[in-house]
Chains A and B, each alone.
Chain A
Amino acid sequence: MPYTYHTDEDRKAMLGALGLANEAGLFDVIPEKLRLRALLPIEKGKTEPETLRAMGFISRANRPASQLFNYLGGGIYDHTVPSVVKNLSSRPEFATAYTPYQPEASQGTLQVIFEFQTHISRLTRLPVANASMYDGATALAEACLMAAKITRRDVVLVPYALNPRYLRVVRSYVSGQNVEVRTLRESSAGDLDAEALKQELGDRVAAVVVQTPNYFGALERPWEYEKEIHAAGALLVACVDPISLSVLRPPGEYGADIAVGECQPLGNEMSYGGPLVGFMACKQDYIRQMPGRIVSATHDVDGREAFVLVLQTREQHIRREKATSNICTNQGLLATRATIHLSLLGEHGFTELGRVCHERARKLAEKITACDGYTLKYSAPFFREFVIACPTDAESVAEAARREGILAGIPLSRYYGAAARNLLLVAVTEKNQDEDADKYCAALKRAALVKVG
């Protein structure tokens, strides 16, 4: 049978050492009436070749975006995963290690986390970063709870253009803590309406969440209202796409107190949206309120440089019901991939990545707006994702393009109902070549002619 390896002789000898005649005796402590006599009602085991064949069949029932012309984004982006990242992260030394509780035998994992923290700190220009969160959505939810604890207030303001999937998670997370989530309206340019924000500020507001680029791809200007937020005693929580930080102003430079985001685009597969990996960074003052694991540099008794988990007294296994969060296992291996990815691309390659994504997005947007009936919905600047207004409903445009092997974008009616019927959210990465844009536009033109019915 797979994955147990005792010979009959070993098994007998081991049972004998325990004074047992058979394995059933091992379970004598379980009351007789609760013990299963029959096998579970599932299939018998398969060999490895049989399993690979069966899973191969199932995998071919999918049509992976990575093999199509893919313009889907909305938080998950189809970037090239460098071979180095795949190779290194598949090493069992990283993949089959546990959380680094014994630092002497876990320096590899600990130093990787330390380098991850440093990379994130450089991207965000905030001094403190943790070892990772489950995903961008839970990182944002935890940031809201953290802000509520720091300020002892109970309202969180979020923009209308916050990723709707993040909003759903934030609502579920804060529901137990009696924190209220209020949505701010957007301006007609697609970014946050600063006047509406200023009116909503008050002495119950713990945090203002600004997502930039926001769900519609539009860039926000938090520096224009950061002072008002802080003057009202609230924290500024920035939710950012790390790829955008290759070229855009970092949260630490415009006064953000906490920054969170999703590191899937940094060397991780889309994998149908999971596993993902969130990050969280914050100002020095809030390090003890931050959830998740943190690694510090230190020395060993011989004076060698070493790394170790610190501030565990914040964590659930020490602090139990008084912990900052219940998070335990997080997303180590994906954070490892993000670390290697950023190290490999480095200053030059990462900047280049951001510039290429933007350049190709800009060119595609130009071509789309040259198509009859298609326009850009918003005037605010964008990085690599934008909303187009279609001449007909976006769901049928996307469906017509899908049949041609083009994933044209996310129809916003999925999240914003009938008012967003004609809107399509389009994302571009370095994988989308300039020459694909013609194919894309041709598909849009044909789709516009399809009768809605």
Chain B
Amino acid sequence: MSGHDFSQTIYGRSRPGRHGYHISSKPAEAPRDIPSEYLRDSIGLPEVSEPQVMRHYIELSNKNHHVDKDLFPLGSCTMKYNPKVNDEVAAMSGFAGLHPEQSDADVQGALKVMHGLERLLAAISGMDAVSVQPAAGAQGEMLGLLLARAYFADRGISRRRVLVPDSAHGTNPATATVVGFQAQTFATGKDGRVDLDILKSVLDDDVAVLMLTNPNTLGLFETHIAEIVEMVHKAGALCYMDGANMNAIMGQTRPGDFGFDMMHYNLHKTFSTPHGGGGPGSGPVACRSHLEPFLPVPRVVETDGTYRLEYNRPKTVGALHSFYGNFGIYLRAYTYIMRLGSDGIRRASSTAVLNANYLAARIADKYPIPYGSRCMHEFVASGESLKKHGVRTLDVAKRLLDFGFYAPTVYFPLTVPEALMVEPTETESRETLDRFADALLEIAREAESSPDTLHQAPTRTPVRRVDETTANRSPVITVPLA
């Protein structure tokens, strides 16, 4: 029915009786003292050789686009170059070989890094305290809203709603629901920013939190940020900043200075840790002192240069991770911040903003940018003008793959028709930005002269456009057991 033979999967390469790897030099016995009712027969794993495994996964790896190959301009994802020294540090045996149940006395270096990273992230945010525990940005959001719930509960106040602007990333409303709040979406103003009057109309004493991304997903700084935060605080609610876009502003301004009560970072965006094809990430939460008692356990505490893990926090929201979060990612981010320093951080954000504006200016003639000419680290262009040639943004995205680039984020935010959300990051050279701009302009010309080239694209990738409809209707998600 599925029409798959799966011969190209690792299972297709299996030959019964072939042994790729040995654990023991003598044959191992079946468990003697576990009664048979507990035991299984076969598992059904493939049987392949070590060289086959190498070749199979090398072949697969060659089918990926990745940032070490070329530009990866995905908006709001901050696909900057991932420095290799970060990985070298994370692989040091003094870090990679630590077990989380080791005594504090044996892990002083690890605790120093966690504590140090929390202090650095507090300084960059202008906040008082940080928990690095959340494993990703969405879990950071979850922690933020758990803090808010615990904060209000502690004061005997019941507030049920979380406000999110319509330009917010989908995790914001999803998180509100997961934490037991009701998400309320409100429209942004004509200029793509929060409109104070609209915000006022949805604010009341049932609102617990405003979640706001700044710069927002249009790449715009919320110029009225101080007034927004003041209004929300006057209504008795808290302000949460989604820090997905911190790469634009680190070292230039601080969320704590705008008055935010809490925020999350994405270490796998702003602080250069590799995305790994979808994780691991890390989503530390920074907060002001009134929320600190609620942070998850354990906390890393320092006394006279000695570090320990502390669990005795009566008001804590509990824990969001088996242990202390994604420690291997902290090492990479800590190393990165050590390399950049205060001067490099400021240079990184200003260069990210320079690159985005330069690129926007180069393509704006063919891909208009509905919300203004000056952006922060990313911009959202529209492919709508190509529609008259029968070409959609999706076609532009696919054609970019033929030019050897990845595609920008497309059709998000929903407030821009045929959206192309582009974030080049600071690590790209002017030549690369020019090459990418040239490709986009060439594609716009193709849209006029030979739109079918775009409809057919991509043709130079390992596979061409795939049938998503059938896959969604009847998903085939494993190699069936013979």
Contacts and interface: CB of A to CB of B under 8 A. Distances in A.
Query: Does A associate with B in a complex?
Result: yes
A191 to B, nearest CB: 11
Residue among A6, A117, A362 facing the most chain B CB atoms (10 A cut-off): A6
B322 A58 contact: no
A393 interface: no
B313 interface: no
Interface string B313-329: 00001111111111111
A401 to B, nearest CB: 11
Contact of A96 (B46, B82, B342): B82
Contact of A345 (B21, B38, B175): B21
Interface in B370-409: 374, 376, 397-398, 401, 406-407, 409
B264 interface: no
A204 interface: no
A392 B430 CA distance: 68
Interface stretch (B139-147, B230-238, B443-451): B139-147
A306 B107 contact: no
B263 interface: no
Contact of A300 (B11, B177, B466): B466
Given A247-B40, A272-B327, A17 B361 contact: yes
B338 A52 contact: no
B339 A407 contact: no
Contacts of B171: 316-317, 326, 328
A299 B61 contact: no
Contacts of A63: 102, 106-107
B354 A11 contact: yes
Given A15-B354, A74-B101, A107-B463, A310 B468 contact: yes
A30 B268 contact: no
A99 to B, nearest CB: 4
Contacts, number: 699
Interface string A103-146: 11111110111110111011100011101101111100000010
B38 A249 contact: yes
B34 A219 contact: yes
Interface residues of B, number: 207
B417 to A, nearest CB: 18
Interface in B74-104: 74, 77, 79-83, 85, 87-90, 92-103
Given A103-B463, A269-B96, A2 B361 contact: no
Given A72-B101, A249-B40, A333-B280, A39 B464 contact: no
**Interface extent on A, as a size class?**
35 or more
Contacts of A97: 64-67, 275-277
Contact of A270 (B19, B97, B355, B426): B97
A145 B142 CA distance: 15
Interface string B223-235: 1011000000000
B4 interface: yes
Residue among B53, B82, B471 facing the most chain A CB atoms (10 A cut-off): B471
A233 interface: no
A345 B20 contact: yes
Residue among A11, A17, A100, A274 facing the most chain B CB atoms (10 A cut-off): A274
Given A91-B61, A122-B481, A105 B112 contact: no
Nearest to B283: A329
A262 interface: yes
Interface in B337-367: 337-348, 350-351, 353-355, 357-358, 361-362
A102 B79 CA distance: 15
Interface stretch (B199-207, B251-259, B285-293): B251-259
B252 A27 contact: yes
Contacts of B461: 104-105
Contacts of A318: 170
Interface in B246-285: 249, 251-254, 257-258, 266, 268, 272, 274-282
B407 A102 contact: yes
A270 B98 contact: yes
B415 interface: no
Interface string B19-43: 1111110011111111101111011
B138 A327 contact: yes
B418 interface: no
B180 A62 contact: no
Residue among B79, B323, B341 facing the most chain A CB atoms (10 A cut-off): B323
A172 B322 contact: no
Contact of A93 (B64, B282, B323, B328): B64
B10 interface: yes
Contact of A356 (B28, B32, B466, B472): B28
A250 B225 CA distance: 54
A275 B183 CA distance: 30
A96 to B, nearest CB: 4
Contacts of A30: 221, 223, 249, 252-253
A212 to B, nearest CB: 9
Contact of A381 (B30, B38, B110, B268): B38
Given A42-B120, A349-B19, A329 B268 contact: yes
Contact of B339 (A45, A114, A348): A45
Contact of B45 (A122, A271, A308): A122
Contact of B478 (A61, A103, A129): A129
B158 interface: no
Contact of B340 (A2, A102, A111, A168): A2
Interface in B291-326: 296-297, 317-326
Given A51-B338, A138-B139, A310-B475, 7 more contacts: A40-B123, A59-B92, A66-B96, A98-B67, A129-B477, A316-B170, A329-B275
Q: Which 4 A-B pairs have the closest CB atoms?
A: A273-B323, A273-B100, A333-B276, A66-B97
6 contacts: A33-B226, A64-B96, A106-B63, A138-B320, A313-B472, A322-B177
